[in-house]
Structure 1
Amino acid sequence: MSWFSGQAAAVWLLAFGQTLTYAGVYYAFPALLPDLQAATGWSVAELAFGPTLGFLVMAALTPFTGRWVDRGWGGEMLTYAPILAAVGVAGLGLAGSPLIWWAIWAVLGVAQACCLYESCFAFLTRRLGAEARGAITKVTLVAGFAGTLAFPLGDVLGRSLGGPGALIAFAGLMLLAVPINAHAVRSLRRMERAGGIAAEATPGVLRQAMRRPAFWAIAAVFGMIWLNHGILLTYVLMLFADRGAAAGMATLAAACIGPSQVLGRLVLLFQGARIGNARATVWSLVGVVCASVALLSAGWWPLLIFAFAALQGAGAGLLSILRPMLIVDILGRRGFGTISGAVAVAPILASAAAPSVGAGLLHLGGPELIYGFCLALGLGGLAIGIGLLRRG
């Protein structure tokens, strides 16, 4: 697929749409957490339960959205769900109580299930087949800058508008994704009609996949890594401050996570044929483990937070691409949307639990407990991943 063909142009458009959506619905909360706490007076646990609830709803719906993609509805979800997401983020800025905050996050869970990576990747895999890895990599190359956009923008908007006002501004930014996604979907569907790709009926395919230990091993690996990543990302500014970093240094390091994701994905894009999915997965898991070691060691040398940002960003960023590819390699392409949606329940539940688990760890043992817990998660994911890939 040429980088500048009509098909590639549609893929790049989806990439920009994902960047805007992720910046508002995923990264705005950690970027604005200190401002939101100051503006509302609510506890970290009360604020964090909102994203947790959103991810729980997302986890419940993702197996269904995978089936909807298999039946040909992926384009509708990518086109219209960002509208619901933008309205929800704006509503968060107007929430007057924790109860309303939580209710809006539940609605955002519906939007996230329909328009974030899972649905986008399933849509592209169904449409492009063997070319999907290159397309998915391109999407994540651009969308990897969502955090880079959100953290500095959140710092500026939080200072000038306060946390709630900044959320409304993020919502306006997210609306730009709607026409971008709509044009990309129309372009890909014109090619789809020309290619004669039909909706796929996959009765029983999920039951067959779930009988295989590899299904549960993949779910376990990505569940553990996404719990690790979710905790560290949610509390990244607090953890960097605990390691002795000044506010500006902490914001800069957090903003480096996105470019690190992009750098790792560029390596995969240009060297993927030589590296292979299995080897890239192992090295990505090693990177996540080394990131936790760097963060733990930053108490002696705060500049190591930049090493953490580089390793965590590259490791988690590569794994977000490799999960759909591993599912295809190990479990097959038939019924991919359905199987991928079911596997995704584990990492989505982990992301749901991450803010609340992190708040609990902070309460029980402070930042040191988070460092040790996240290192243990990385080591566990690495061990299971090596065992899975050795068995083929």
Structure 2
Amino acid sequence: MHNRRVSAGIVSALGLTQIIGYGTLYYSFSILAPSIAGDLGLSLAQVFGVFSLSLFIGGLSATYIGQQMDRIGAATIMSVGSALAALTLALCAWSPSVAIFAIAIILLEVSSGMVQYQAAFAALVEHDPKSASQSITYLTLIGGFASTIFWPISTTLLDVLSWREIFLVFAALHLILCMPLHFWIRSVGKKAADHTLGTRETVIGAILPHTRRRAMVIVSCAFALLGFTLAAILAHMVPMLGSIGLGTAAVVIGALFGPAQVLSRLINMVFGKSLSPPALAVLSAILIVVGILILLITGDWPPGAVAFAICLGLGSGINSIAQGSLPLYLFGSDGYGAITGKMAAARLAVGAGAPFVFAAAMENIGLSMSLAANAVLGAISIAGFVAVAVSCRQPATVTA
């Protein structure tokens, strides 16, 4: 009972830090970007170009961060990451030139990899590998409210503060709330390790050792392609829906994505116990591809656009769960940080260029062909997840 309360406390604490982490380091940027561009004398496209570059470099750092999580503990990395996030947000707020701002944003995305889902999932696996998949579902359900909370917060703060002052407020949140919570999770983990004297349950992966490398490449590619598909559309979702003739309804329809994302996690939490992580990964990819095909077929028909936004949200919500639970299911809990780090590096590096590639594709080959090409990439990811799923055995739990 005590262990269950501690686990619930850790999930709740991580839920709060994920809302703050994603809200301040990712979702708020689209709201603050016009003010940043005006202040620094840049175009909006240049500001987003800096952001995309920072996402790419941040993605490349994920492999090293994952290795360090295995070496010194995910909660330790998250504690350091909170301090780095606060420092780099303050550096952004101070930045007197474009060059310093660009460096600060790049460092900000490195800190993101230390405090967001990749690290939080690893912390849950460290605490209790056996129940980690269920805890990941609970965590993504809470974290799904980050955009819902921080888009309006950022918009409201802009009425009374400058973007630089808002970044200082965000820095304070990381320093005053996130860092102590991550440090508490670290201390709980240390006490548990001392209490068990090195004896803990370990999840043995479902992939046979001789197919491990091949499976890792396939799964990494599948997540990267699906991440590209999703990032490309999300970056252009509202203007894209407006351009096909939906007008002001595009904003309302686009807003359905967030609630659908949370709903998928809630449905999975209540009814998804019978679905294995490989099945979740396949389902997430199918929902995203089906959503794209619905928009491709129905065009400016509003019910079709609504179905598109809902399918995309459902698929994205399940995909977040699969990113944490599938590597644990396939490869086990040993070396989980390094494995998910490599996967995150591939997914983030590929996804960073998605908005620009999709924009160029729409300009040169048109929206319909761009959506069709995106659907093909999603279909390849479905095939990858299915190929890995059929080669699985039942994972085991042992005491080590």
TM-score bracket for this pair, using the shorter chain length = 0.7 to 0.9
Q: Deviations over 1:197-253 (max 9, x none)?
A: 489xxxxxxxx7896211111011100011112222233333243244556x55544
Identity of aligned residues (%): 25
Tell me if structure 2 keeps the 8 A contact 1:92–1:101. Answer: yes
1:179 has 2:167 as partner: no
Give 3-state SS (helix, strand or coil) of 2:334's partner. coil
Partner of 2:350: 350
TM superposition shift of 1:10: 1.8
Q: TM-score, normalised by structure 1?
A: 0.84
Distance 2:24 2:250 in 1: 20
Give 3-state SS (helix, strand or coil) of 1:71's partner. helix
Partner of 1:204: none
Name the amino acid aligned to 2:257: I
Q: Deviations over 1:58-82 (max 9, x none)?
A: 2332222222221233222212312
Partner of 1:46: 46
TM superposition shift of 1:2: 8.6
Partner of 1:68: 68
Tell me if structure 1 keeps the 8 A contact 2:278–2:385. Answer: no
TM superposition shift of 1:300: 1.3
Q: How does 1:151-166 map to 2 (within 5 A)?
A: 151-158=151-158
TM superposition shift of 1:172: 4.7
TM superposition shift of 1:23: 0.8
Partner of 1:223: 224
Tell me if structure 2 keeps the 8 A contact 1:48–1:356. Answer: no
Q: 1:299 to 1:145 in 2, by over 3 A?
A: same
Q: Deviations over 1:142-181 (max 9, x none)?
A: 1011122233334444566576665555545554323333
Q: 1:169 to 1:367 in 2, by over 3 A?
A: farther
Q: How does 1:1-392 map to 2 (within 5 A)?
A: 5-33=5-33, 36=36, 42-92=42-92, 95=95, 98-158=98-158, 167=167, 169-175=169-175, 176-197=177-198, 212-245=213-246, 249-296=249-296, 299-302=299-302, 304-365=304-365, 367-368=367-368, 370-392=370-392
Q: 1:59 to 1:273 in 2, by over 3 A?
A: same
Q: 1:389 to 1:92 in 2, by over 3 A?
A: same
Pick which of 276-285 and 42-51 moved more: 42-51
Q: Which stretches in structure 1 are left out of the alignment for 5+ residues?
A: 200-207
Give 3-state SS (helix, strand or coil) of 2:42's partner. coil
Distance 2:166 2:257 in 1: 21
Distance 1:168 1:367 in 2: 40
Distance 2:161 2:299 in 1: 33
Distance 1:385 1:63 in 2: 22
Partner of 1:202: none
Tell me if structure 2 keeps the 8 A contact 1:210–1:216. Answer: no
Tell me if structure 2 keeps the 8 A contact 1:146–1:258. Answer: no
Name the amino acid aligned to 2:191: R
Partner of 1:203: none
Q: 1:93 to 1:129 in 2, by over 3 A?
A: same
Pick which of 249-258 and 146-155 moved more: 249-258
**Pairwise CA RMSD of aligned residues?**
3.2
Pick which of 377-386 and 89-98 moved more: 89-98
Distance 1:209 1:320 in 2: 28
Distance 1:375 1:38 in 2: 36
